[in-house]
Amino acid sequence: MRVKIDEGQVEFSAIRAQGAGGQNVNKVSSAIHLRYNIPASSLPPEVKERLLALNDRRITQDGVLVLKAQSHRTREMNRADALQRLRELVERAAQPPKPRRATRPTKASRERRLDDKGQRAQIKLGRGKNWD
């Protein structure tokens, strides 16, 4: 399912990048903070629901997704990188999850589990005091 992201709903702000870079890193704001308000976006409701259900620390309590891009030296490349990462995240959320099919353990796996359980019990019994 292809989902279109309206770039007018994406907020970009330039910040100073962290890490190595010499003098350049201290004077140029080349890193990008991308902010995307999921509840206020024009995404389909089921995609919004799946995005908000993600256990992702980049999504705030208010439902705002914050991405930081600082791997490139230029602001434009970091902006494109952040937008691409947002698209990938939304594309993944647009795919409906596969329904889980209930399965049962095989007879052999149940027997193996009970055998292992009996062996552990014997090991633990051997740790106690011997009353002979």
Q: Where are the domains of the chain?
A: 7-94
- Look at residue 21 in the predicted model and tell me its pLDDT: 64
- Look at residue 25 in the predicted model and tell me its pLDDT: 66
- Look at residue 98 in the predicted model and tell me its pLDDT: 92
pTM above 0.85, yes or no: no
Q: Which of 46, 44, 48, 45 is nearest to 65 (CA)?
A: 48
- Look at residue 71 in the predicted model and tell me its pLDDT: 87
- Look at residue 15 in the predicted model and tell me its pLDDT: 87
CB 14 within 8 A of CB 32: yes
Tally of CB atoms within 10 A around 93: 22
Q: What is the pLDDT along the chain (132 residues), one digit of tens a residue?
A: 677 888 888 999 888 887 766 676 677 788 899 999 999 998 999 999 999 998 889 999 999 999 999 888 888 999 999 999 999 999 999 999 899 999 999 999 999 999 999 999 999 998 988 766
- Look at residue 113 in the predicted model and tell me its pLDDT: 98
Q: Determine whether domain 7-94 maps to CATH 3.30.160.20.
A: yes
Report DSSP state, residue 39: T
